[in-house]
Amino acid sequence: MSNVIVHSLFSEFDINLFKTGKHFRLYNKLGSHLIEVDGVKGTYFAVWAPSAKSVSVIGDFNYWNAGEHELNVRWDASGIWEGFIPGVDKGTKYKYKIHSHNNDIWTEKADPFARFCEHPPNTASLVWDAPYDWKDKKWMDTREEKNGLDKPYSVYEVHLGSWKKKNGWESLTYIEMADQLVDYVDKMGFTHVEFMPVMEYPYDPSWGYQITGYFAPTSRFGKPEDFKVLVDKFHQKGIGVILDWVPSHFPEDAHGLGFFDGSHLYEHPDRRRGYHPDWKSLIFNYGRNEVRAFLISNAIFWLDHYHVDGLRVDAVASMLYLDYSREDGEWEPNMYGNNENLEALSFLREMNQEVYASFKGVQTIAEESTAFSGVTKPVHFGGLGFGMKWMMGWMHDTLEFFKKEPIHRSYDLNDITFSMTYAFTENFVLPFSHDEVVYGKQSLLYRMPGDEWQRFANLRLLFGYMFTHPGGNLLFMGGEFGQSSEWNFQESLAWHLTQYDFHSGIQEVIKDLNKLYKSNPALYQKQFSSEGFQWIEYNDKENTVITYLRKGEDPKDDLIIACNFTPVPRENYRVGVPKSTQLKLVFNSDETKYSGSGIGKKTLKPSKTSWNGHPQSVVMTLPPLAVVVYK
């Protein structure tokens, strides 16, 4: 006991906020902190363990012996144990040895607030600080202007461990990615990068979605300050950084949050609400004040300490519904007799309110797969308060349509056009994510029908349709050059394919679509408003062609888009247009530089022949399996 000096970073106000679930900067208080007390350097430790009989810090500094450095329990019934240990410095490995009042159980846990962790499979926490001289002031000062809902949102989704390998098997470090990945994303023209979870996780096949170190960038690729370098370099290139964030569940690993102090501390004690049958993981107790404070503090932490620009919140649907993935009798209705998880709804609203109140120019994005209403509506209007939501219905319907042989597509044109009936009910991002290229679903390229030429033409058409459809865009790595195999988290992307014309052609398409998207206000200014879209023709089943307008604030920016979903060129195809001015071709997915056939007219002069409800029209030549965009 004498080895631990009584000391606290908590004020009475901090404790009151913590107990009421309103302390959203807990990372400044809980965890391990390098400080100086009365001229002596060491580390202050604080951990929440209300069911504990005793809590000791064990580590390489005391040969992992419990009892030598026992923390002091606070007198205020907060359940916090704390104390200052002299001489413990940066890099020290440690855990908490907890003796519980609950059946005299002992647990040995990593620090929930650790800033750095041992490289898996090792599980200790490390005393760490990560001072860093940020060089992204220009980005941070102007982020609000670049990261808004009326700005381009083209996202490159990345799994850091498998984007590229060196020596055939070894992942790049954060520092190496700060050169290679940043330059690549910049060259391809994406506005944002999204990382699958970077928080520390024990099991590689989970891809990071089973987190044990919520406040620590994974040590697989380097130190916390190295990850800051990566974020900083993206910002210096004007590229926003989005992190996948997982408040929906956590693993039962012995060193993790589960049964932390010998009680159900972080997880809901009722197995019907505290255990996820699909992922064999535990579900947070969203009704417990301290747990809410932990999670919201974690969201704030990444935006605060790592300058992150957005959080994509994973598996929101699993949080919203008490009966998610459960059979009758395996769940209990809420107080109103329905299936909504009221505590989770309240948590998500509070999290979004705090994020948007605390940081300018950030976004939260919901991965929510149901028709739950108001996900992106403001909280004060009864919504959940997210900035954007993944458009899972569009993704599913679009891929179902594209996998059909073109001869059958005319019967299912509604699969493509149906999305416009609900496209503006939320602020939607169109995702072709990692989930669509695993577990036997095949790569995007090999979901396309036909011979080699048709597969690539279909993929170019798919991307052109995606970028001209209202909403933001997200593409998982490898899709941008037409990777032929499914994604394998253990292997590098198949970069050798880019030496072949068809694959490099897909890369050029994505580059040009990003350029088109960013340089044409009609594609982003009103991307979440029905004012930004108008059908010209959505029911031409005979030709399997759709045509539509995209509109910006200035009518001079309007674009006319035509998609031909068959391998048959459409000569003399008449399209009604709203104005009599000449049209100029600004994108054609069939250009020869993409390995297309090069069919299509560069300019179009409208005639006074009324068509599609417009007083004038143009006659186009529509290339096979292609999208053309005119301005």
**Per-residue DSSP letter, 268:** -
Are 49 and 81 contacting, i.e. CB atoms less than 8 angstroms apart? yes
The CA distance from 297 to 27, in Å, is 7
**3-state percent helix, strand, coil for the chain, nearest multiple of 5:** 30, 25, 45
Q: b/e for 135-174, b at 16 or more Cβ within 10 A?
A: ebeebeeebeebbebebbbbbbbbbbbbbbbeeeeebbbb
Q: Which residues contact 500 (CB under 8 A, 6 or more apart)?
A: none
Q: Determine which one of 157, 314, 512, 537 is catalytic.
A: 314
Are 510 and 189 contacting, i.e. CB atoms less than 8 angstroms apart? yes
Q: 626 has which bridge partners?
A: 564
Are 85 and 57 contacting, i.e. CB atoms less than 8 angstroms apart? yes
How deeply is 373 buried, as exposed, middle or buried, from its count of CB atoms within 10 A (0-12, 13-18, 19+)?
A: exposed
The CA distance from 159 to 171, in Å, is 11
Q: Determine which one of 14, 290, 367, 426 is catalytic.
A: 367
Cα angle value 507/511/515 (rounded, 5°): 165
Q: What are phi and psi of 412, to 5 degrees?
A: -125, 25
Q: Which residues contact 39 (CB under 8 A, 6 or more apart)?
A: none
Instruction: In the chain, count H helices and then E strands.
Output: 13, 31
**Per-residue DSSP letter, 115:** S
Are 374 and 382 contacting, i.e. CB atoms less than 8 angstroms apart? yes
Structure tokens at 572: 């003399």
Q: Which residues contact 504 (CB under 8 A, 6 or more apart)?
A: 481, 498
Q: Is 571 left (phi over 0), alpha (psi -120 to 50) or beta?
A: beta
The CA distance from 313 to 394, in Å, is 19
Q: Which residue has the tokens 């056939």?
A: 597
* Active-site annotation holds for 367: yes
* Active-site annotation holds for 314: yes
Q: Show which residues are catalytic.
A: 314, 367
